[in-house]
Chains A and B, each alone.
Chain A
């Protein structure tokens, strides 16, 4: 009985979302805002309250039957287990802080009901993904986050560009969703069930070829939501949405849904070595790609977007290396420091008078409240992987897993990871220097930063810095809390000799130092940006957008035109018109017989008479012949 109360965790944000959407504009603004924040905060508190339910095998709760037809029997059921619980806690906690931030950020916007409704709906959908017991409910949440993302990116719809960015996000992720759906159908056909726990249990009995195909399909589905290659073109444009949206959706939650999916189905995915290698390869390539693009970006949020893409690539590499703990550890720390970076970026943009270009900023350290610089720096050092920060331990954990993988090919991925770390340090400090150092280069008029935008930054910054405590490796004296919490869900246990670990740490420190030094040398004193083919290439994301446009969008539109003008109008309708014209022409021919003249009809009489006469004569002749 009390298990059903677990459903309050996702349903509380849902109710607040629906109420806000239906009645929000009629209520006083404060009321709507409080309702929104309470929805998420309530879910957070409930997660803490019900934490014990997640221990051991977890708790399964069923609400009611959704679809029941033939062999299909799917209900609204949730599975609150050891994998779901920390993720739920993180999502609801970070969401609460971001909601508070959003109250301040959006205080001038009049469309608050829609905004907070969508934001709460998003949290509900994300919780549906995390807590779903079966793949269909997960798919509902999956599409739900896509929908909310669409609505929130295009929130300021009066500018058509924003709506287009939202549509692009929806469509690209939908392509990924198709692959996930195919995997879903296939899994149902093979195992006869859509329940995740049962699929994982039956995974070993599925034939290897099918397992590889399923892993690849799931990977492609995950790539869509997590903005990995080849479905990554939507993330940079998604920055058109309000900053709280970027912080919540495109830093902490939706982009990590793909990683979560792979971790959820890890017993299935980990069975195929080929699949794991492909996952790692995609993660590595994306990480490197995104890091190179981030080096050349001019808008502050786009830098952070590409850096998110890059870090999620690390999480994919972790999954591919076989360590769920590593992936989830990095997921959690990344959520903290990336959210704080985005939120601080929002403050910076406010201060710069709604200016996004970092080359037109500078000197923000002195311009804004002093804490802004420290908070941003906290996030930045976590991102760069400065020793002892949360980001350092999680990234290092992943690199260790790659280095110690039994398959020697993984050393290549490790190398890519190291190179990306170098680039990460470089572009992070580039960002810090260009925004905060030197003199103010811009022209905008600063907006005041409300209190609600400032103080949620602190908890997240501290969590980011201290996040390493979650899974402190034992060679520095930690107890690997997360790894032990996950138990048998944790994937491969990463063990290495202490000397290897210290060597890798030394390498990491050296890389951070190198990256910082390079950024310091180049960007400490301001230089105008360099415009050459390389920088433009990187700025445009290796021209991915135009590639997609030429490969898919233009043929699609051309095909649409062909189908309509070429087939429907010319062929099908043309055939019909042709038939009609033929009938009309035939009629016109026949009507020539009806001249209206008596003489014509008289001739017709005469001819007819002749024919009849002839026929009778023939009959006479034949009859006489017998």
Chain B
């Protein structure tokens, strides 16, 4: 078995990498990819926990998470298409209509 600590630290590293991607990338799609990575890190925590405590609940939740993620990505990408059509750019900083 993979030690729980290893899996958790790996998941933490993955989460931080995902967060970095969200915070530092300018493109909307790259931000979304970062969010995906963070979600995957969370899934990893669930899976390793389920392996550690020998209970299936974690893995069930991961399946649920994948479904939710799929739905969320669908909506998000639909909005990305809309944003592209509005401004012909996908740089997140360009969309500041709600400022002030």
Contact = CB atoms under 8 A, between A and B. Distances in A.
Given A602-B22, A603-B23, A606-B23, A597 B100 contact: no
B99 interface: yes
Interface stretch (B3-11, B44-52, B59-67, B88-96): B88-96
A601 to B, nearest CB: 10
B1 interface: no
B97 A599 contact: no
A598 B23 CA distance: 10
A503 interface: no
Contacts of A599: 23, 26, 31, 92-93
Contacts, number: 31
B96 A595 contact: yes
B32 to A, nearest CB: 11
Contact of A596 (B19, B22, B31, B99): B99
A594 interface: yes
A606 B31 CA distance: 14
A92 B42 CA distance: 114
Contacts of B100: 591, 594, 596
A612 to B, nearest CB: 15
A591 B19 CA distance: 26
Contacts of A598: 31, 92, 95
A597 B95 CA distance: 6
Interface residues of A, number: 10
Nearest to A607: B23
A616 B42 CA distance: 20
A602 B38 CA distance: 14
Interface in B15-53: 19, 22-23, 26, 31
A595 B31 CA distance: 18
Contacts of A602: 22-23, 31
B19 A597 contact: no
Contacts of B99: 594-597
Contacts of A606: 19, 23
Contacts of A596: 95-100
A598 to B, nearest CB: 5
Interface string B62-100: 000000000000000000000000000000110111111
9 contacts: A594-B98, A594-B99, A595-B99, A596-B97, A597-B99, A598-B92, A602-B22, A602-B23, A603-B23
Interface of A: 591, 594-599, 602-603, 606
Interface of B: 19, 22-23, 26, 31, 92-93, 95-100
Given A597-B95, A599-B26, A599-B92, 18 more contacts: A591-B100, A594-B98, A594-B99, A594-B100, A595-B99, A596-B95, A596-B98, A596-B99, A597-B96, A598-B31, A598-B92, A598-B95, A599-B31, A599-B93, A602-B23, A602-B31, A606-B19, A606-B23
